Amino acid sequence: MIRLSGFADEIAADPAVQIEVLQSEGIRFLELRGAWGKNVLDFSPAEREDLRRRLHDAGIGVSAIGSPIGKVPIDESWPDHAARFKIALDAAEFFEAPYVRVFSYFAPKAGRIEDHREEVIRRLNEQVALARGRPVRLLNENEGDVYASTTERCLDLLENVPDMDMIFDPANFIQAGVRPAKAWPRLADRVAYFHIKDAILGTGQVVPAGEGDGALAEILRDAIRQRGYEGYLSLEPHLAAAGKFSGFSGPDLFRQAVRALKRILDEIGASYS
């Protein structure tokens, strides 16, 4: 049974609106990136408690902490970023989220991120070590502006950072000039989670699932029907705005994105809740 989730801060900043829209679409999980216009890592203790209570009362779980960890230049202070990463781990435990989403760092102001491969791998291994013993697993997301922008670099990280798996984001691959249908067979064995957004090759324009070049029906059919994937499909539509650190859709476009994904799942005969 596939579990649907999504970045509810793409619906609205107000968690009451986030919850209302998720419930109206029968979605029982969210990927927690933010609420009240604040990133989850910046919540006060009272805000954490408030949101946990609201989600519990609504019967909504947290599929992952959609953290911004690793979305900083590789030459930014590691001790400072490691301290922020520990907040992400604490948030995952607090909200009983099984995963923390991480990235693989931007290039420094002058230079190329590929020239800092060893430091990227060192930091990610240290993050894995910091998470060891906690009920949470790290998931690296492919992204166009970080080290893990191509199939080869994603494989490089997965081979050199034990105990870390991958989030597969088709639109991010497209925006990096990679065809998701070609990347998928090489990465499939280490994919533990999906971000559902689609895009058009050449322009990078984000569109609802199935309307771009993300080959979502093909990939999900193989993942679910052939490989037995039973994890989360987390909607990150970016249909109204797409930024480096977040996106926005609003309630109506978010509902449109949910229904586009459900059409694909119905087409391939996948069960979901």
How do residues 91-141 score in pLDDT, each as one tens digit?
Answer: 999 999 999 999 999 999 989 999 999 999 999 999 999 999 999 999 999
Q: What is the set of domains in the chain, with CATH numbers? A: 3-267 (3.20.20.150)
Is the pTM here over 0.85, yes or no? Answer: yes
Q: Contact at 8 Å (CB) between 18 and 266?
A: no
Average pLDDT over residues 216-238: 96
- Whole-number pLDDT of residue 249: 76
- Whole-number pLDDT of residue 250: 87
- Whole-number pLDDT of residue 242: 54
Average pLDDT over residues 49-76: 98
Euclidean distance between CA atoms 122 and 124, whole angstroms: 6
- Whole-number pLDDT of residue 244: 57
- Give the torsion sign (CA, 17, 23, 25, 30): positive
Whether the pLDDT of residue 207 is over 60: the answer is yes
- Residue 267 phi, psi dihedral angles, 5° rounding: -65, -40
Euclidean distance between CA atoms 76 and 144, whole angstroms: 19
Average pLDDT over residues 186-209: 96
- Whole-number pLDDT of residue 246: 58
Helix axis angle, 151-160 to 117-131, nearest 10°: 50
Q: Contact at 8 Å (CB) between 260 and 251?
A: no
- Whole-number pLDDT of residue 247: 63
Q: Give residue 55's identity as a one-letter amino acid code.
A: L
Q: Contact at 8 Å (CB) between 134 and 92?
A: yes
Query: Residue 226 has what DSSP assignment?
Result: I
**pLDDT band at 67, cuts 50/70/90?**
very high
